[in-house]
């Protein structure tokens, strides 16, 4: 028993340490799967030996902590975490316990929701207005983050006047969409800053910014899934609570009402298969008892409710060997080390390389050539090395050293003071040119269909294209001189180039690849200045009048347009017939007053691109379906928003119909 006691206490110390790293410092050292294994072992030992349970055990309280950087808010009710299950058998055992305690003879109704990997937040409304927002913290006390949460477009600042609700408290999840996570990390790499390990860390770090303008620039989203307190009408079922939240203007998660564990497990499996098609990261699904009166019967422990459980998906990790570490050159000159791996299956696909981001990360994790490592795959983002199996080292492993020169042009590689990135400072580096061309022609930028990396590499290598402006002076004869390019292919490329001339000012700005300027900022800059010439003349103070532009972004824009090569490129684009002014025709503002809600998977464009296209025409994108919604665009996997649209007789269209609307005059 003495040895068992020591093991229990050691587990508690480890869990407390990792709770603090995860919830307070936003710097986890182990994967969720490793943490879950520690926690489950402690639960098992305490259940088997109740005499070892102490009030200070992590199993006897809600995990978490409060950062000293923020004021504190005491929660009106404890904010509990969820118990976990990991397989079908454990889910059935949960269901059997629920049925037994309720004395139910028929399958029990549940609501199944995706478990979004973000940060819990509690909102309080009084007099119909948002009064306070707080993080979960330790479940009893949270961090006051009202000013930051008010920057979220998905959070109502007031409740509808006719709702009849004076006081409301809701719980939701703050998250960073996949596309925004990728954009943010690209910008941080370009700026020489450390990248975020995962969307959850990025969301937590963004929500806890002391400057709300920084939070606003991170484009966080939030969904709300629980009414904690309500003065006025009171739903009897959870699915009705979600409908009420929708009516009040809150974004709610996709959800399914099911009967019994068989149907619940089928939905869980479906979401596990679809997890990479969703616009946000999920690490499982939540199964909740639908009947709120039955929830009162089951009650809760000090740690979690007895009426809900989180089904955690298997971690998308695998062990493999680092064969080599190679350095790739990005469009801004950043040298990014990448691990070449023994191919291994992770998350349904074969992985042969993984990002190492920068030299500091390699040193911090002590990754060496020849090491056995743990890699983790998160959606469409390139897999990354999250751990090293140091116990399997043989002594033959080699330490990686960042090169002193660019591997593409042999120019000097420089690491500026205070930056994590090493850069090639040669503006004529062929690798940088190729990456700039690829970005310029990409779908989110000038959208030159068919102008892919292989073709662009040929054009650059031959000297026909020295910057993106040269693309607009290519001839049919020059294209026919490229490998595997016939009359038909050359014609399609010339047509794509011609169409791109009318892509619009916002796309041109994004295509130029200015550091810190993503798609949304490009759109706002275009709308504010109206022409590229006006933007180029703008002072840093004028640039900062644009909501997405802070001091660093303004400096990056000013520096970019001050370069002689940039001015030469802009002149070349103008001579090539590219439209560099905001189009002000009959279509501008034609969607004024129209609102769109997207649900399910978009297959032809990202959610960010779809929102940008709607806003370009004067419309707006909402997170919830109401009677005032103009269109619901439904793709594969559409859930409760589609059901609500049909109940409210809101027009539902497919993605193809949405694209046709975009092209109409």
| CA separation for the pair 427, 429 (Å, rounded) | 6
Q: What is the pLDDT of residue 381?
A: 56
Q: What is the pLDDT of residue 585?
A: 43
Q: What is the pLDDT of residue 15?
A: 81
* pLDDT level of residue 8 (50, 70, 90 thresholds): confident
**90/600: higher pLDDT:** 90
Cα distances (angstroms) measured from residue 475 to each of 137, 471, 480: 62, 9, 9
Q: What is the pLDDT of residue 412?
A: 93
| CA separation for the pair 37, 30 (Å, rounded) | 11
Given a cut of 90, whether residue 236 has pLDDT beyond it is: yes
Question: How many angstroms from the chain centroid is the CA of residue 117?
Answer: 10
Q: Decide: helix, strand or coil at residue 109.
A: strand
Please state the rounded mean pLDDT for residues 327-351.
Answer: 86
DSSP 110: E
| CA separation for the pair 627, 654 (Å, rounded) | 19
| CA separation for the pair 238, 291 (Å, rounded) | 6
* Percent of residues, the chain, with pLDDT higher than 70: 91
**233/463: higher pLDDT:** 463
555 and 578 in contact (C-beta within 8 Å)? no
| CA separation for the pair 280, 180 (Å, rounded) | 10
CB neighbour list of residue 143: distance below 8 Å, 6 or more residues apart: 66, 67, 69, 70, 71, 72, 73, 134, 135, 137, 208
Given a cut of 70, whether residue 555 has pLDDT beyond it is: yes
* pLDDT level of residue 70 (50, 70, 90 thresholds): low
Domains of the chain: 2-60 (1.10.287.610), 72-180+198-312 (3.30.470.30), 317-424 (2.40.50.140), 430-575 (1.10.150.20), 595-663 (3.40.50.10190)
Tokens of 374: 């743990």
Q: What confidence tens digit (pLDDT) does each residue in 80-137 have?
A: 989 899 899 999 999 999 999 999 999 999 999 999 988 999 999 998 889 999 999 8
Q: What is the pLDDT of residue 446?
A: 93
Q: What confidence tens digit (pLDDT) does each residue in 206-232 have?
A: 888 877 877 877 888 899 999 999 976
Given a cut of 50, whether residue 64 has pLDDT beyond it is: no
Please state the rounded mean pLDDT for residues 556-562.
Answer: 94
Please state the rounded mean pLDDT for residues 572-587.
Answer: 78
**617 in active site:** no
Angle at 589 between CA 588 and CA 595, to 5 degrees: 135
CB neighbour list of residue 102: distance below 8 Å, 6 or more residues apart: 108, 294, 297, 298
| CA separation for the pair 622, 221 (Å, rounded) | 11
Given a cut of 50, whether residue 587 has pLDDT beyond it is: no
Q: What confidence tens digit (pLDDT) does each residue in 134-181 have?
A: 999 878 888 899 888 888 877 888 888 778 888 899 999 999 988 888
Please state the rounded mean pLDDT for residues 566-583.
Answer: 91
53 and 59 in contact (C-beta within 8 Å)? yes
Q: What confidence tens digit (pLDDT) does each residue in 12-28 have?
A: 888 877 766 665 455 66
| CA separation for the pair 32, 585 (Å, rounded) | 52
Given a cut of 50, whether residue 66 has pLDDT beyond it is: no
**555/32: higher pLDDT:** 555
Q: What confidence tens digit (pLDDT) does each residue in 373-401 have?
A: 998 875 445 688 888 998 899 999 999 99
Given a cut of 90, whether residue 287 has pLDDT beyond it is: yes
641 and 635 in contact (C-beta within 8 Å)? no
| CA separation for the pair 377, 385 (Å, rounded) | 9
Please state the rounded mean pLDDT for residues 171-193.
Answer: 82
Q: Out of 166-175, 432-441, 570-579, 605-614, which region has the weakest mean confidence (pLDDT)? A: 605-614
**Helix or strand holding residue 422 (H, E):** strand 422-424
| CA separation for the pair 14, 34 (Å, rounded) | 11
Residue 175: how many other CB atoms lie within 10 Å: 26
Cα distances (angstroms) measured from residue 283 to each of 315, 460, 519, 617, 664: 8, 43, 28, 36, 40
**Helix or strand holding residue 174 (H, E):** strand 167-175
| CA separation for the pair 623, 596 (Å, rounded) | 9
Given a cut of 90, whether residue 301 has pLDDT beyond it is: no
| CA separation for the pair 538, 52 (Å, rounded) | 68
Please state the rounded mean pLDDT for residues 278-283.
Answer: 85
**345/28: higher pLDDT:** 345
Please state the rounded mean pLDDT for residues 311-323.
Answer: 87
Choose, from 115, 288, 312, 572, the residue flagged as catalytic.
Answer: 115
DSSP 152: -
Please state the rounded mean pLDDT for residues 553-559.
Answer: 92
405 and 412 in contact (C-beta within 8 Å)? yes
Q: What is the pLDDT of residue 306?
A: 94
Q: What is the pLDDT of residue 621?
A: 80
* pLDDT level of residue 578 (50, 70, 90 thresholds): very high
CB neighbour list of residue 565: distance below 8 Å, 6 or more residues apart: 427, 467
Q: What is the pLDDT of residue 594?
A: 84
For the chain, percent helix, then strand, then coil, each to nearest 5? 40, 20, 40
Q: What is the pLDDT of residue 161?
A: 78
Q: What confidence tens digit (pLDDT) does each residue in 456-508 have?
A: 999 999 999 999 999 999 999 999 999 888 999 999 999 999 999 988 898 99
Given a cut of 50, whether residue 310 has pLDDT beyond it is: yes
| CA separation for the pair 558, 566 (Å, rounded) | 11
User: Whole-number mean pLDDT of the chain?
Assistant: 86
Q: Out of 216-225, 255-264, 600-609, which region has the weakest mean confidence (pLDDT)? A: 600-609
Q: What is the pLDDT of residue 19?
A: 67
DSSP 277: G
Please state the rounded mean pLDDT for residues 536-547.
Answer: 88
């Amino acid at each position: 028993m003495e040895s068992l006691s020591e093991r229990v206490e050691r587990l508690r110390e480890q869990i407390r340490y990792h709770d603090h790293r995860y919830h307070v410092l936003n710097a986890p050292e182990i994967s969720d799967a490793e943490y879950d294994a520690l926690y489950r072992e402690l639960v098992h030992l305490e259940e088997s030996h109740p005499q070892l349970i102490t009030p200070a055990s992590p199993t006897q309280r809600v995990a978490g902590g409060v950062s000293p950087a923020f004021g504190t808010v005491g929660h009106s009710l404890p904010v509990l975490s969820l118990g976990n299950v990991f397989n079908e058998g454990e889910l059935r055992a949960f269901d059997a316990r629920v049925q037994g305690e309720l004395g139910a003879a028929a399958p029990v109704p549940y609501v199944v929701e995706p478990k979004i990997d973000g940060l819990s937040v509690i909102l309080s409304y009084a007099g119909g207005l948002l009064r306070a927002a707080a993080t979960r913290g330790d479940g009893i006390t949270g961090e006051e983050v009202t000013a930051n949460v008010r920057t979220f477009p998905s959070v109502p600042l007031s409740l509808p006047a006719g709702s009849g609700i004076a006081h409301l408290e809701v719980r939701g999840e703050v998250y960073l969409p996949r596309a925004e996570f990728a954009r943010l990390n690209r910008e941080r790499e370009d700026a020489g800053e450390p990248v975020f390990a995962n969307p959850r860390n990025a969301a937590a770090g963004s929500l806890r910014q002391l400057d709300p303008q920084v939070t606003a620039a991170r484009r966080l989203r939030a969904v709300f899934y629980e009414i904690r307190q309500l003065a006025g009408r009171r739903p009897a079922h959870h699915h009705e609570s979600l409908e009420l939240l929708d009516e009040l203007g809150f974004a709610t998660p996709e959800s399914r009402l099911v009967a019994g564990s068989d149907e619940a497990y089928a939905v869980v499996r479906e979401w596990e298969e679809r997890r990479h098609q969703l616009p946000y990261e999920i690490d499982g699904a939540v199964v909740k008892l639908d009947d709120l009166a039955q929830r009162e019967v089951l009650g809760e422990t000090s740690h979690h409710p007895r009426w809900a459980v989180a089904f955690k998906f298997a971690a998308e990790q695998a062990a493999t060997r680092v064969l080599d570490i190679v350095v790739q050159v990005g469009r801004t000159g950043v040298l990014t080390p990448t691990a070449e791996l023994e191919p291994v299956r992770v998350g349904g696909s074969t992985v042969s390389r993984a990002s190492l981001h920068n030299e500091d990360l390699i040193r911090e994790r002590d990754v060496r050539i020849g090491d056995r490592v743990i890699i983790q795959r998160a959606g469409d983002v390139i897999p990354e090395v999250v751990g090293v199996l140091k116990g399997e080292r043989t002594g033959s492993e080699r330490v990686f050293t960042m090169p002193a020169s660019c591997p593409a042009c042999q120019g000097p590689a420089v690491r500026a003071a205070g930056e994590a990135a090493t850069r090639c400072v040669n503006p004529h580096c062929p690798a940088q040119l190729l990456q700039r061309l690829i970005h310029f022609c990409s779908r989110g930028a000038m959208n030159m269909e068919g102008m892919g990396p292989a073709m662009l590499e040929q054009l650059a290598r031959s000297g026909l294209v020295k910057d993106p402006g040269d693309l607009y002076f290519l001839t049919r004869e020059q294209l026919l001189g490229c490998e595997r390019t016939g009359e038909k292919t050359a014609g399609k490329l010339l047509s794509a180039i011609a169409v791109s001339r009318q892509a619009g000012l916002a796309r041109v700005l994004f295509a130029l690849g200015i550091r810190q300027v993503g798609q949304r900022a490009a759109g706002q800059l275009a709308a504010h200045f109206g022409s590229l010439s006006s933007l180029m003349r703008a002072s840093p103070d004028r640039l900062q009048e644009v909501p997405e532009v802070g001091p660093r972004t303004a400096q990056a824009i000013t520096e970019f347009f001050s370069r002689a090569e940039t001015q030469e490129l802009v002149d070349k684009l103008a001579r090539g017939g590219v439209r560099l002014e905001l189009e002000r025709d009959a279509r501008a503002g034609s969607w004024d007053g129209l609102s769109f809600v997207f649900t399910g998977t978009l297959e032809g464009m990202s959610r960010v691109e779809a929102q940008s296209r709607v806003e370009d025409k004067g419309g707006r994108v909402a997170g919830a379906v109401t009677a005032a919604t103009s269109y619901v665009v439904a793709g594969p996997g559409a859930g409760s928003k589609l059901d609500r649209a049909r109940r409210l007789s809101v027009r539902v269209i497919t993605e193809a119909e949405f694209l046709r609307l975009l092209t109409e005059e």
